[in-house]
Amino acid sequence: MLLVTDERFLGHRAGSRHPEQPARLNAVWDGLESAGVHDALVRVEPRMAGVDELLAVHPATHLDRLEEVDAAGGGRIDADTVMNDASWTAARLAAGAGLVAVEALRAGVADAAFCAVRPPGHHATRTESMGFCLLNNVAVTATALAGAGQRVAIVDVDAHHGNGTQDVFYDDDRVLFVSCHQWPLYPGTGAADEVGTGAGAGTTVNVPVPPGTAGDDYRYAMDALVVPVLERFAPDWLLVSAGFDAHRSDPLTDLGLTSGDYADLMATLAGLVPGGRLVVFLEGGYDLDALSDSAGASVAALLGVDHRPEGASGSAGTEPGRLVDDLARRHGVA
């Protein structure tokens, strides 16, 4: 398995009290070590996404603003999103990580890739940086693949809705976007009736689940909705926005997953595309122990290794099953 990561990601700092800390990346690396899969990882450095690759997703005005903040040595983008003097380098490396992964997978270097990057990206819309995200990392890779004639599916399992990714592909039938997320929660988007528009009508699938939703309910959503939708779309590539903040210990959310549940989700997703066509991107996850365990369990599952620091969780008394069944009928896979 390919591991795309870099020490330079540690230089991005949004403030000493900010949830998105460099320690998150160290926790991920520690989790991979604890999972005992180090010998199966092929580590490669990312490259900075080129201007044309970024312009395919973000307009020049957006990039110009980030460059201006960088030239000033950093600054606040919004209430949650901050740059320092290393952030612009880290953001361009994070945006280029998936491109490096695709190149290596096409060359047969590995069967899948995990991009352990920061800052995260799935809240960055075409025109706005927000929610700790400067550039939309997964969208840069998906756009490059779609531009090369590939059908791309993106599955976002972060507890927060991937509003930025949805924004980029809402009218694009070349890219299927599926998001399972807590509702209500920041950023307030991702309702079940947000399904795409124009040519992209039906290629956005939102699964907004209530607080307390645990592993059994996520597995049901995968089996009854997500897998059938992806199988019908028949993607050439699957990209996963892997936010580990749906873990029951995360301080910013109220869901009930465990690291064992993440292992199950990743194993299911890995079976939906041929080898060499899966790229996973690190998004959220703000309890360091939970992040470490969940990342380790997920990468191990992608390698076919059963590493579970915690067991899978059962239902927490919520009832998202009816929602999933309704969504399956809405999207024609019931």
DSSP per residue, 132-194? TBSS-HHHHHHHHHHHTT--EEEEE-SSS--HHHHHHHTT-TTEEEEEEEESS-TT----TT-
User: What are the Cα distances from residue 260, in Å, to 1, 176, 264?
Assistant: 20, 26, 6
**pLDDT of 236-264, one tens digit each?**
999 999 999 999 999 999 999 999 999 99
Joined tokens for residue 72: 């000033």
Say how many C-beta atoms besides its own lie within 10 A of residue 13's C-beta: 18
**pLDDT of 70-91, one tens digit each?**
999 999 999 999 999 999 999 9
Architecture of domain 2-330: 3-Layer(aba) Sandwich (3.40)
Q: 76 forms bridges with which residues in the sheet?
A: 82
Place of tokens 């299911």: 268
Domain ranges of the chain: 2-330
Greatest C-alpha distance within the chain: 53
DSSP code, position 131: T
How wide is the angle at C-alpha 125 spanned by C-alphas 123 and 131, nearest 5°? Answer: 30
With a cut of 90, say whether residue 301 has pLDDT above it: yes
Tell me which amino acid residue 67 is. E
**pLDDT of 196-226, one tens digit each?**
999 999 999 999 999 999 999 999 999 999 9
In angstroms, the CA 107 to CA 2 distance is: 12
pLDDT bracket for residue 315 (50, 70, 90) = confident
- Give the distance from CA 245 to its chain's centroid: 11
In angstroms, the CA 124 to CA 136 distance is: 5
Does the CA dihedral 195-246-239-103 come out positive or negative? positive
Q: Which listed residue (12, 58, 122, 123) is catalytic?
A: 123
Active site residue 181: no
End-to-end CA distance of the chain: 34
pTM metric for this prediction: 0.98
Mean pLDDT of the chain: 97
How wide is the angle at C-alpha 179 spanned by C-alphas 163 and 101, nearest 5°? Answer: 85
In angstroms, the CA 73 to CA 167 distance is: 29
In angstroms, the CA 265 to CA 222 distance is: 8
pLDDT bracket for residue 320 (50, 70, 90) = confident
Place of tokens 């992964």: 101
Q: Are 49 and 115 in contact (CB under 8 A)?
A: no
In angstroms, the CA 292 to CA 27 distance is: 5
Q: Are 281 and 299 in contact (CB under 8 A)?
A: no
Burial status of residue 107 (CB atoms within 10 A of its CB: 0-12, 13-18, 19 or more): exposed
Tell me which amino acid residue 75 is. G
β-strand 237-242 against 82-83: which pairing, if any? unpaired
**pLDDT of 183-198, one tens digit each?**
999 999 999 999 999 9
> What was the pLDDT predicted at 317?
58
In angstroms, the CA 104 to CA 91 distance is: 21
- Give the distance from CA 101 to its chain's centroid: 15
